[in-house]
Amino acid sequence: MDENGEQLGIMPVREAIRVAADRDLDLVEVAPTARPPVCRIMDYGRYKYEQSKREREARKRQHVVDIKEVRMTPKIEDHDFSVKTKNAERFLRDGDKVKVTVRFRGREIVHSNLARKLLMEMAESLADVGSVERQPRVEGRNMIMILSPKQEQEG
């Protein structure tokens, strides 16, 4: 193909290079695995520049999902719990995942059902902005649950 997108047909490599040189352009192989290989006559420098420009635009638009953590104990007070819930809601609205951790100290681990109830209560209060990605599970002296943000429906 030439710079205008017109097919030039199958030709020997030397002739293709000569045609490209006559037009002060480069011969670029775009599909080396095809039989015969597909080449295009273009300004390679300009092509590379436009490609890097497209990649920069794509990078600018993408959002990296972080995992934010909210920690508490099984004996948390109501007000403290509501503050932690508000923080988790803010993280979810920003598009980040939230790892909710309940830390057990001493013999508190015997009452893991209280921690599970606490985590499920938080998941229920955040149901409109996030969903449970991983159910509460005991890992060492902690009980961990992961919430992920809900995708906005566009329409």
- Residue 4 within a domain: no
Residue 2 lies in a domain: no
Same domain assignment for residues 74 and 143 = yes
Instruction: Give the CATH number, domain containing residue 84.
Output: 3.30.110.10
In a domain, 3, yes or no: no
- What is the extent of the structural domain holding 112? 67-149
* pLDDT at position 145 over 80: yes
Region of 139 on the Ramachandran plot (φ > 0 left; ψ -120 to 50 alpha; else beta): beta
72 with 140, same domain: the answer is yes
Instruction: Report the b/e string of 58-89 with b at 16+ CB within 10 A.
Output: eeeeeeeeeebebebebebeeeeeeebbeebb
pLDDT of residue 2: 65
- Counting the structural domains of the chain, the total is 2
Q: What is the pLDDT of residue 153?
A: 42
* pLDDT tens string 7-35: 777 888 888 888 888 888 888 888 888 88
Q: What is the pLDDT of residues 68-92, one digit of tens each?
A: 999 999 999 999 999 999 999 999 9
Say whether both 41 and 73 belong to one domain: no
Q: Treating both helix axes as pointing N-terminal to C-terminal, what angle do 112-125 and 78-93 enclose, rounded to 10 degrees? A: 50
